[in-house]
Structure formats: C-alpha cells, structure tokens
Amino acid sequence: MKKGKLYLVGLPVGNWEDMSVRAYKYIKSAKNIVIEREEAFASIWPALGMERPDVNIISIEMDSNGGEPGKSYELENMDKILALLEAGEDVYLISDDGMPGVADPGELITKNAIANGFEVTATPGPSVAIAAVAVAGCMHNFSFESFLPFTKEDRVKYLLERRHMHSPMVFVLRNLQRSEDGNPNYHPEIPEFLSEAVDVLGADRKAVLCYNLTKPNERVVRGTMTELKKYFDETPREPDLITIVIDTANGSLNV
C-alpha cells in the first residue's frame, strides 16, 4: 500500500496578501490537518476565506496567552499522525504563521516522518528570518538562532558562545504576557536580551531591529546595540514579533 505524504504548509507572517495559491489549495483539499493552536486558527480560517473545515484536525500546541512549547503535544499526537501516514493518508502540517518546524512547532513530527520513511514536501512560505536578513543586507551568509533560552544565566552563556561568530546572527523575539508567578510564559523579554547583548557582545556591535515584518506597521531600525536598546526603551511596546539581526564582531553590515 502506498504511504501518505507529509506536507509542510507555510502561511504568511503577517500579511495575507503573501498567501501562496498552492498553500491555499492544499488547505482547501486536505482531509488531515495538523495545526499549531485552535485558538489562533479561530481567526486564520476567516482570513483564508473559509469556515473551520469539517475534516480531521489535530492541534499540537497548548492554547495560552503567550504560548507554551509545543513539543509535548507533538509527542502526544505522534503515533496518531504516523498511523495516518502509514495508512496512506496525506497529512498537512500548518503553523499559525511562517514555516512549520522553523521557530515553530513541527520539528519532531517532521523528523519522525523522515525516520519512518515517509515522503516530506513543503510549500515555501514567508519567513521573518529571511525577510530580516534581506532588509539587513547580509544575504550571503547568516546564522539563524531562532528563540533564546529562558533564564538569564543560559542566555548569557548562549551569547558568550556566539560572540565570535563569523556570520551575522538572527534571533526571533516576542513581547511577553506574564504568568501569575511573574515568569515568562515562553520567550525571554526583549529588554533583558538587549541589555545582555550590550554587555556580552559589546555596546558598539551593529544590529538591525525589525518590527512586524510584512505588516502595514513594519519598522526597521538600524544602529549599535546601545542605540537599539535606547530606541526600544523609548518606544511604546507592541505585542508583536520582533526579529533582530546582530552583526559579526568585525562588522559586515552597513548600518
């Protein structure tokens, strides 16, 4: 019996005019859809011009304000997803925005599908990392670092290990909602990271701070780490995605 195929379907990162025709067709025709969060998709279905489809939908991340790591839900649903593929059913994995598995849930599902011999394909979609790299002007090489460790100690160690990288680094950050115990729900707070980057990487290290890429309120701010921290501290906070591109120690960006 022919095995099913895993489709990684990229969604826009903020501007629905970036939606690809092929991704839309896949979602419209899919019988098995793995989504990130039901909470988020409540607004995504209307944005796609459809009601929630009456098909097999599996959610792999906890609904919460600020998010929870999705790996536990990926593991809980792994056998179910692999069984569908083994039975010849195609499965479509979709993130809230961006590409599944790239700074988003889906990595474990993809790795397990590959390990079990299932074909994996992707519909390339918009990426905040690639968009940030493009506007920063470092298109030849870069290191995508994704999200940061939770604690200050681990973040400082992480930055120290990357202080002498030979290519610019790309980090994805979010403004946070705080839980009742005062701890971050998921991502480290941006002001903490900027302060740590100034201390560890150097106040004069060049960087590019990208707010809400592809959205109407997109902003790109260029300067040293000190200048970017000052800008962030003096700018009203927005609960949206921020991507930062940090230059190499010897300087390769024209900031």
Q: What is the pLDDT of residues 230-247, one digit of tens each?
A: 998 888 766 566 888 888
- What are the tokens at 246? 């940090």
The model's pTM is 0.83
Q: In what order do the strands lie in the sheet with 91-94?
A: 56-59, 32-35, 91-94, 5-9, 119-123
Helix axes 190-201, 225-234, angle to 10 degrees: 160
> pLDDT by residue (tens digit) across 136-188?
988 778 898 877 887 889 989 999 999 998 889 998 886 555 444 544 444 44
Matching residue, tokens 């593991």: 75
SS3 108: helix
Output the six-digit token pair for 225.
Answer: 């780490």
Question: What SS3 state is found at 1?
Answer: coil
| Helices and strands, counts by H and E, the chain | 8, 10
What residue ranges define each of the domains in the chain, with the CATH number in brackets? Answer: 5-123 (3.40.1010.10), 128-246 (3.30.950.10)
Q: Which of 16-30, 55-69, 184-198 has the lowest mean pLDDT?
A: 55-69
Rounded mean pLDDT, 182-209 = 79
Q: Which residue has the higher pLDDT, 199 or 249?
A: 199
Distance between CA 252 and CA 97 in Å, rounded?
30
Residue of 180, 170, 166 whose CA lies nearest to 136: 170
Residues found in the chain:
255
Q: What would the two tokens of residue 1 be? A: 């019996």
> In terms of pLDDT, which residue wins out, 246 or 72?
246
Whether residue 117 contacts residue 220, with contact meaning beta carbons closer than 8 Å, is answered with: no
Over residues 66-92, the mean pLDDT reads 79
